[in-house]
A and B are shown apart, each in its own frame.
Chain A
Amino acid sequence: MKYASEFRDPKAAKAILAAIARAADSIGATRERPVHIMEICGGHTHAIFRYGLDKLVHEGVEFIHGPGCPVCVLPMSRVDECVEIAERPEVIFTTFGDAMRVPGTKRSLVQAKAAGADIRMVYSPLDALDLARRSPGREVVFFGLGFETTTPSTALSIQAAAREGLTNFSVFCNHITVPEPIRALLDDPHMTLDGFIGPGHVSMVIGTHPYDFIARDYRKPIVVAGFEPLDLLQSVLMVLRQIEDGRAEVENQYARVVPEHGNPVSLAAIADVYERRPSFEWRGLGEIDASGLRIRAKYAAFDAEEKFGIGYAAGPRHVAEPEGCACGAVMTGRIKPPACPHIGKGCTPETPLGALMVSSEGACAAYWQYGGVRAAAE
Chain B
Amino acid sequence: MCLGIPGQIVAITDAERLMALADVSGVRRAVNVACIADGRLENLIGCWTLIHVGFAMSRIDADEAAKTLEALRDLGEAQEALEAMAEGQRALEGKS
* Chain B residues, Cβ within 8 Å of A146: 1-2, 53
Q: Does A332 lie at the interface of the complex (its beta carbon under 8 Å from any beta carbon of B)? A: no
Contact with B along A34-65 (1 / 0, CB 8 A): 00000001110011001100000000000000
Give Cα distance in the complex from A13 to B75, angstroms: 18
Looking at the assembled complex, report how far the CB atom of B43 sits from the nearest CB atom of chain A, in whole angstroms: 16
Contact present for B91 and A131 (CB under 8 Å): yes
Query: CB-CB < 8 A to B96: which residues of A?
Result: 120-121
Q: How far is the CB of A151 from the nearest CB of chain B, in Å?
A: 10
Q: Which residues of A contact B85 (CB under 8 A)?
A: 123
Counting chain B residues whose Cβ lies within 8 A of the other chain, the interface size class is 35 or more
Q: Are B87 and A121 in contact (CB under 8 A)?
A: yes
A360–B80 CB distance below 8 A = yes
B4 at the interface (CB under 8 A from A): yes
- Given A123-B85, A127-B54, residue A149 in contact with residue B2 (CB < 8 A): yes
Contact with A along B83-96 (1 / 0, CB 8 A): 11101110110001
Over the window 55-92 of chain B, the binary record of Cβ atoms lying under 8 Å from chain A Cβ atoms (1 yes, 0 no) is: 10110110010011011001111001101110111011
A361 & B2 in contact (Cβ 8 Å cutoff): yes
Residue of A nearest to B72 (CB): A227
CB interface residues, A 94-143, toward B, < 8 Å:
94, 96-98, 120-127, 130-131, 134
A126 touching B1 by the CB < 8 A rule?
no
Which residues of B does A touch, CB under 8 Å? 1-4, 17, 29-32, 34-37, 50, 52-55, 57-58, 60-61, 64, 67-68, 70-71, 74-77, 80-81, 83-85, 87-89, 91-92, 96
Binding site for B on A (CB under 8 A): 6, 8, 41-43, 46-47, 50-51, 68-71, 94, 96-98, 120-127, 130-131, 134, 145-147, 149-150, 152-153, 156, 160, 201-202, 204-205, 227-229, 256-257, 263, 265-266, 269, 360-361
Given contacts A147-B2, A265-B36, 12 further A-B contacts (CB under 8 A): A43-B75, A47-B71, A47-B75, A94-B91, A123-B84, A123-B85, A134-B92, A152-B55, A152-B57, A204-B4, A227-B3, A228-B71
